[in-house]
Amino acid sequence: MLSYAGRVAQPKAQPIAVRVGGFGGVDGLVRHLREAQVTHVVDATHPFAARMSANAVAACAACGLPLLALTRPAWQAGPGDRWQTVPDLPAAVAALSGPPQRVMLALGRMHLSAFAAQPQHHYILRLVDLPEVRPPLPQHTVIVSRGPFDLEGDIALLRAQRVDVLVCKNAGGAGAEAKLHAARELELPIVMVARPPLAARQEVTRVAEVLLWLEAAHHAPTSRGAERGV
């Protein structure tokens, strides 16, 4: 069972069953795990979904369920990159103090309002859906696209929009990496928001490792997975 928070209007079709919406905190998740007779939990949320990841750790501990996190290694700056790494979004907003620039926010729609504190800039917003409510940024351009993005496309976008600086979260992974290479190519600075700290949990970085974990559980004679199926 794949669980979506429900942030995207029309999520991609998936080859397994899907449910949508919050569980209602740790208590709600505990209830759901018990009612649905879940035997194994895989936390495959975005590295910035810190609340959900914390809830998964707490709920699995409460239910005595095994938890595995499927994560993407963080991006690392390489030669030619002009990154300013900041610890969180408020620090990213503060890093934009100064004269007006054309700023690309590749952050999703959830935290755009924080950038209203720096209204002098023209913001270029790349979003999965057209926002229902106009973002509270006096000057902005919305680009609707859900990726994956490629180097040529991102270079063309940064040029066409005359972007001076990018702000992005250190999501890791290949799907959103092109903008970093495009910025390097164009020698543009990036304000890179570091990942939030998460509770300790077992982590892997490849889907194949998750399947091996489930497979091992299925074959272990004493595991709950073997008793009830996964």
Ligand X SMILES: NC(=O)c1ccc[n+]([C@@H]2O[C@H](COP(=O)([O-])OP(=O)(O)OC[C@H]3O[C@@H](n4cnc5c(N)ncnc54)[C@H](OP(=O)(O)O)[C@@H]3O)[C@@H](O)[C@H]2O)c1
Rounded CA gap, 178 and 166, in Å? 12
- Are 198 and 54 in contact by the 8 Å Cβ rule? The answer is yes
Using DSSP's 3-state secondary structure scheme, residue 53 falls into: helix
DSSP, res 119: T
For ligand X, which is the closer residue by CB, 59 or 182? 59
Rounded CA gap, 169 and 66, in Å? 29
The residue nearest ligand X at its CB is: 22
Q: Minimal distance in Å, beta carbon 20 to ligand X?
A: 8
User: CB-based burial of residue 146 (10 Å sphere; 0-12 exposed, 13-18 middle, 19+ buried)?
Assistant: middle
Nearest of 64, 39, 57 to residue 220 by alpha carbon? 39
For ligand X, which is the closer residue by CB, 51 or 206? 51
For ligand X, which is the closer residue by CB, 102 or 195? 195
Q: Minimal distance in Å, beta carbon 152 to ligand X?
A: 24
What does each C-alpha distance from 227 to 39, 84, 220, 221, 222 come to in angstroms? 10, 51, 10, 8, 8
- Are 163 and 102 in contact by the 8 Å Cβ rule? The answer is yes
Q: Minimal distance in Å, beta carbon 162 to ligand X?
A: 26
Q: Minimal distance in Å, beta carbon 70 to ligand X?
A: 11
Rounded CA gap, 99 and 118, in Å? 10
For ligand X, which is the closer residue by CB, 6 or 80? 6
Q: Minimal distance in Å, beta carbon 99 to ligand X?
A: 28
Q: Minimal distance in Å, beta carbon 219 to ligand X?
A: 28
Sorted by sequence, the CB contacts under 8 Å of residue 132 that are 6+ apart come out as: none
For ligand X, which is the closer residue by CB, 55 or 71? 55
Question: Which residues of the chain form contacts with ligand X (CB under 6 A)?
Answer: 3-5, 7, 22-25, 28-29, 45-46, 48-52, 55, 108, 110, 169
For ligand X, which is the closer residue by CB, 103 or 127? 127
